[in-house]
Structure 1
Amino acid sequence: MSTMELTADNFNEVNSGNDFVIIHFRAEWCGPCHTFGPVLEHVSEKREGVVFAKIDIEAPRELAQAHEQSHW
């Protein structure tokens, strides 16, 4: 399974419908986020039963704020 984008529209459904969800909070301007992204994508292909997701902290701000994630 590849990494999926979480939004305000699908966040609750993805989290309540799966036993284990790993979320990568990221930003387009974040260099380490761009480095980590391909690693997360690779691991997501190897692990069945785990949902790997990402949230752009700049786009759906309500999701990032609800989880106390913000830009530095």
Structure 2
Amino acid sequence: MNEAFCPVCGGPAEIKRVTKAFGRGDGLLVIEDIPLIVCRNCHEQYFAAKTLREIEQLRERQQHHARMIQVERFAA
């Protein structure tokens, strides 16, 4: 996708790569480099339907690439 347009304002949008965490505790899964569409005009952010399907497929997999990461719990 070279050029995208915002469904909210019709402005030009760009693709940014983001990292998102899904689940919690032992079920926590972190997915990196997810393409997120961001409007340059109104700053609306959304994932394409194809991206959401791929995220769900990754979440349903039984085996994941594992590596150690630091996790901190917020305590107010």
TM, length-normalised to structure 2? 0.25
Task: Select the structure with the greater relative contact order (CA < 8 A; seq sep ≥ 6).
Answer: 1
Structure ranking higher in strand proportion: 2
**Higher-helix-fraction structure:** 1
Structure with higher Rg: it is 2
